[in-house]
Amino acid sequence: MDMEKQLSQLKSGLSKMENKECKIYFLTQDTEGRAIASVNLNYQYVKYLNEGGYNAFILYEKKEYKGVGEWLPKEYSELPHASIESGELKVGPQDFVIIPELYGHVLEQIKDMPCTKMIFCQAYDYILETLQPGFSWVNYGITRCITTTESQKEYIKTLFPSIQSDVISPSFPEYFKTSKKPKTPLVAIHTRDPRNTMKIIKEFYLKNPQFKWITFRDMRNMSREEFAKHLSESCVSVWVDRISGFGTFPLESMLCNSPVIATLPMLKPDWFKQENALWVPDESKIVEVLGNYIKNWLEGNIPNQLYDEMEKTVSVFSEEKERESVLSYFKTLLDEKTEEFKNSINKLSPIGANA
């Protein structure tokens, strides 16, 4: 590219950034109608950015994309979308493409695109899933990463020391709240492996025949609002996810005033306290602890301290705080890139010219 053309491109990109016209794409998994927390967070960011005057898009791979209309409010389906397969991913040096940690294979496809490429890491266990042995994010021009916990940030640093990682804590919709009605004998259960859900339920009924009237609710495949409603009705939640990065489900349970029985993930959540849930050393103890809990709940013997610690734990998460963090983060990104463009323009401009 000759100098005059490069200068013209830089000036055009600078103008777009100053007017918030640069594009910010969030590559997003097609869940085919299934509710997934990481996808919800992508939509949340795109919503915040568009409300803040930025030009943000949900980006997906194929032409066909089912979207989130079945499990997120209508306003999310109406956000700007773009498809890679349809040729709608058109970027310049002023634009950004944010890629989930699971989509390492996409880095190869877009490594030569003239834009800033970043990682959005919500599930640390998938980081190496699609990377070639010996390859790192740096090989594809990645220099920055957003993640959701300090523990994930520290883990990323051990893998990619030169990557700058920043933490933005998620928030939860206001419909995750305590029900005005009394709790019911309903157990909300969520495990990463569906087989564990059925194993826990069957084992519980075998070992606790006196509680055969207790109902379990597998918390898969429902809208977010329906999900929150069932949590608010439940007297307790069961959570098994050893490779969780953030721990969305137990926090949602706490917001709904439903105590949590859970195994501790391998990467301890930032919000973990011994007193804010009923933590068990391994899955084999889940049914025993659940049986004791049901007995104590029926007798009104659940300690108030547990509910107090749950309330303290979730009090630090707010939508306004998340919104401010997202907008501040991307403002800083654009400010830094704007300065880079100005410096490049000054270097390329003829001496004495007003760039």
pTM above 0.85, yes or no: yes
Q: Is residue 111 over pLDDT 90?
A: no
Mean pLDDT, range 13-20, rounded to an integer: 87
Give me the DSSP letters along 193-255: SHHHHHHHHHHHHHH-GGGTT-EEEE--S--HHHHHHHHHHEEEEEEE-TT-SS-HHHHHHHH
Average pLDDT over residues 77-101: 90
The answer on 215 and 135 residing in a single domain is no
pLDDT in tens, 47-81: 999 999 999 999 998 888 888 888 888 899 899 99
Q: Among candidates 260, 202, 208, which has minimal Cα distance to 236?
A: 260
Q: Are residues 337 and 307 in the same domain?
A: no
Give domain status of residue 177, yes or no: no
CATH of the domain at 327: 3.40.50
**The two three-digit tokens of residue 282, written as one number:** 């391994």
* pLDDT of the residue at 353: 53
Domain hosting 67: range is 3-171+319-348
Task: For residue 178, tell me if it sits in a domain.
Answer: no
Same domain assignment for residues 332 and 296: no
* Residue 39: pLDDT over 60: yes
pLDDT in the model for residue 355: 44
Number of other CB atoms surrounding residue 94 within 10 Å: 24
Average of per-residue pLDDT across 329-337: 94
Signed CA dihedral, 291, 294, 296, 298: sign only = negative
pLDDT band at 1; cut points 50, 70, 90: low
Average pLDDT over residues 232-257: 95
What percent of the chain lies above the pLDDT cut of 90? 69
Q: What sign has the CA pseudo-torsion 75, 78, 83, 89? A: negative
Establish if 300 belongs to a structural domain.
yes
| Residue 222 structure tokens | 């429902």
Number of structural domains, the chain? Answer: 2
| pLDDT beyond 60 at 134 | yes
Do 7 and 124 belong together in one domain? Answer: yes
Task: Let me know whether 98 and 60 are in one domain.
Answer: yes
Q: What is the pLDDT of residue 176?
A: 94
What integer pLDDT is reported at residue 351 of this predicted model? 61
